Structure 1
Amino acid sequence: MTYVKPTELVQSVIDAGASKVLLSTRDTIVRSIMGGAILTIAAAFAVTISVTTGSPLLGAVLFPIGFIMLYLLGYDLLTGVFVLAPLAWLARRPGVTLGGILRNWGLVFVGNFIGAFAIAVLMAIVFTNGFATAPNAVGEAIGHIGEGRTVGYAEFGANGMLTLFVRAVLCNAMVATGVVLAMVSKDVIGKIFAMWMPIMLFFFMGFEHSIVNMFLFPSGLLLGGDFTIVDYLIWNEIPTVLGNLVGGLAFVGIPLYLTYGRPSTPRRVRPSKRERLAAAAAVDAPAPADREATGASV
């Protein structure tokens, strides 16, 4: 399998970030709708596996399928552009401005929400036989997830908000790593394997992903979860978006750019004591003519 070294990898990340910022509104919206839809179908798939098999680990192992599919197709997630776009700005790519980055983030957020909400409605129809029956076991589980990750945090006040924010930071530390690792190989198998690892980790650890939550919480409300839209926004989505932004930049984007994204001056190595003594002796040694004269006098 091919391997792209970190210095080349960061340049690929910067190129990708510039292309995202400069992409047309139509293409950005379409790609982000599809990204949100594919990722959240995978989330429904993972919850279904966890409930029907009783193995959350198996659900986490298979959840990355959705992430892999959407990135191989070039679709967008907010958690990914949180890292890609700022690196293009730091590298001063032509046309990449702070306004352009905010525009990109806003469009991707809207597109991801449309895609995720559409899947939430469609899956709610599946889980309730077109709203004719009570939610099945998977639907009930999704409703309880919505309760636990909203009012469950609210019960602990500021401590709950801190926990939510930290889970969101750690989530995008992993997801952004997966986004970058998608470029670490030039063949499909290498890309799949590289992306799989961090995405599996974030899902099994229960970290907070703003796009997955765009599916889980509307689904939970549709399926009878005991929380409100305000609970969802205040006690999950808004802090999760902010935490995802911080985690992606602090743990992935900025460290990679600082160490690989710009030329650095090699560290000046101080000569050892032996080397300094040898250099001093060479300076004090007589010139060749002096040595000849000394030899003649002897």
Structure 2
Amino acid sequence: MSDSNSILNPDQMATAAEDAAFGKATGGLLKSFLLGLTAGGYIALGFVFFTTSQVGAADLPYGVAKVLGGVVFATGLVLVVLTGAELFTSSTLTLTARASGRITWRQLVSNWVVVYVANFLGALTIVALVYVGGTWKNADGAWGAVVLDTALHKVQHTFLEAFVLGVLCNLMVCLAVWAAYSGRTTTDKVLAVTMPIALFVATGFEHSVANMFMIPLGILIKENAGPDFWTTSGLDRSGYTELTWPGFYLDNLLPVTMGNIVGGGVMIGVLYWTIFHFLPRRKSLPAPG
């Protein structure tokens, strides 16, 4: 009987992950850019779903509300995995292909830069659509209030806190992607992805691409919402003065991106490359003398 539907074992998963990383880094920059656009959009849509789930959730126990938001946000990464989109946070796993000498540093950095920029543009596309479409006015402004409060919290971390939360986030994202390589069916992959992503979102870890949606949308609402929004939502605009573009870039995006690279590329990619590739090769070398 064929075992084509059997899940991969850890050794096979490591090979699949490295092969995928090699394919991303050598598949062409235009392809990476276009797939990066879609990934940024999908992650932004995951945050759209998260925001909707949190409207009125203040009446729920804290943990229940956060887990609910985490589970629905996982829709974004599920779409990334199933469609083959290129997401910067999971693209940090190309460090495995570099460690094996299959790609150059130039290819790695080029892929990261192109995918990062494309993710940002894809996320901003959803920002524009949600803003112009007036989604932020839903529920008498309560939808926009969730965006504002979430975005404000994200720029209030210290640099070190944002960095560490970025490490923890991409630890979970890359574990989710790595685990998804074990699956052969859509159901396998959805199940592998959902709970690690729900964990990072529910706990408040920081994802650079997700923040490319939430914080810019919060800034747009703060800067452009009319008096009616502030009245119906019951919010005070003066409470969101920290929501600025410099604050977004320096207090959140920079440290979170750095943390994402360490958490995903080093703590997952390089670690598993060492376990499943480097150590077996070293063991197979003839003894000296």
**TM-score bracket, shorter-length normalisation:** 0.7 to 0.9
Distance (whole Å) between structure 1 residues aligned to residue 33 and residue 98 of structure 2 = 21
Distance (whole Å) between structure 1 residues aligned to residue 131 and residue 145 of structure 2 = 10
Counterpart of 1:192 in 2: which secondary structure? helix
Q: Which residue of 1 aligns with 2:287?
A: none
Counterpart of 2:133 in 1: which secondary structure? helix
| 1:105 aligns to 2:112 (yes or no) | yes
Shift in Å at residue 69 of structure 1? 1.3
Distance 1:24 1:233, change over 3 A: same
Distance (whole Å) between structure 2 residues aligned to residue 128 and residue 194 of structure 1 = 31
Distance (whole Å) between structure 1 residues aligned to residue 212 and residue 47 of structure 2 = 11
Residues 135, 223 of structure 1: 8 Å contact kept: no
Counterpart of 2:283 in 1: which secondary structure? coil
Q: Which residue of 2 aligns with 1:184?
A: 182
Shift in Å at residue 128 of structure 1? 5.8
| 1:241 aligns to 2:257 (yes or no) | yes
Shift in Å at residue 124 of structure 1? 1.7
Mean Cα deviation higher: 1-10 or 165-174: 1-10
> Which one of 91, 114, 119 corresponds to residue 121 of structure 2?
114
Counterpart of 2:184 in 1: which secondary structure? coil
> Which one of 61, 64, 82 corresponds to residue 71 of structure 2?
61
| 1:265 aligns to 2:283 (yes or no) | yes
Counterpart of 1:63 in 2: which secondary structure? helix
Shift in Å at residue 134 of structure 1? 11
Q: Which residue of 2 aligns with 1:223?
A: 221
Q: Which residue of 2 aligns with 1:273?
A: none
Distance (whole Å) between structure 2 residues aligned to residue 60 and residue 13 of structure 1 = 25
Residues 128, 135 of structure 1: 8 Å contact kept: no
- Alpha-carbon displacement from aligned partner over 1:1-36 (angstroms, at most 9, x marks no partner): 622111111111111111111121211111000001
In structure 1, what residue type is equivalent to 2:248?
Y
> Which one of 119, 143, 148 corresponds to residue 143 of structure 1?
148
> Which one of 80, 92, 95 corresponds to residue 86 of structure 1?
95
Distance 1:261 1:65, change over 3 A: same
Counterpart of 2:55 in 1: which secondary structure? helix
Shift in Å at residue 252 of structure 1? 0.7
Distance (whole Å) between structure 1 residues aligned to residue 275 and residue 221 of structure 2 = 47
Q: Which residue of 2 aligns with 1:199?
A: 197
In structure 2, what residue type is equivalent to 1:8?
Q
Distance 1:134 1:174, change over 3 A: closer
TM-score scaled by structure 2? 0.83
TM-score scaled by structure 1? 0.81
Cα RMSD over matched residues?
1.9
Shift in Å at residue 135 of structure 1? 7.5
Shift in Å at residue 121 of structure 1? 1.4
Report sequence identity in percent: 29
- Alpha-carbon displacement from aligned partner over 1:106-137 (angstroms, at most 9, x marks no partner): 000110000001111111223468x9x99821
- Alpha-carbon displacement from aligned partner over 1:43-79 (angstroms, at most 9, x marks no partner): 1111111124442321212211121112110001100
Q: Which residue of 2 aligns with 1:282?
A: none
Distance (whole Å) between structure 2 residues aligned to residue 175 and residue 134 of structure 1 = 31
Shift in Å at residue 249 of structure 1? 2.5
Could you list the runs of 5+ residues in structure 1 that have no partner in the other structure?
A: 154-159, 267-298
Shift in Å at residue 253 of structure 1? 0.8
Distance 1:112 1:21, change over 3 A: same
Q: Which residue of 1 aligns with 2:62?
A: none
Distance (whole Å) between structure 1 residues aligned to residue 135 and residue 113 of structure 2 = 33
Q: Which residue of 1 aligns with 2:52?
A: 48
| 1:252 aligns to 2:250 (yes or no) | no
Residues 66, 201 of structure 2: 8 Å contact kept: no
Larger Rg: 1
Distance (whole Å) between structure 1 residues aligned to residue 259 and residue 250 of structure 2 = 13
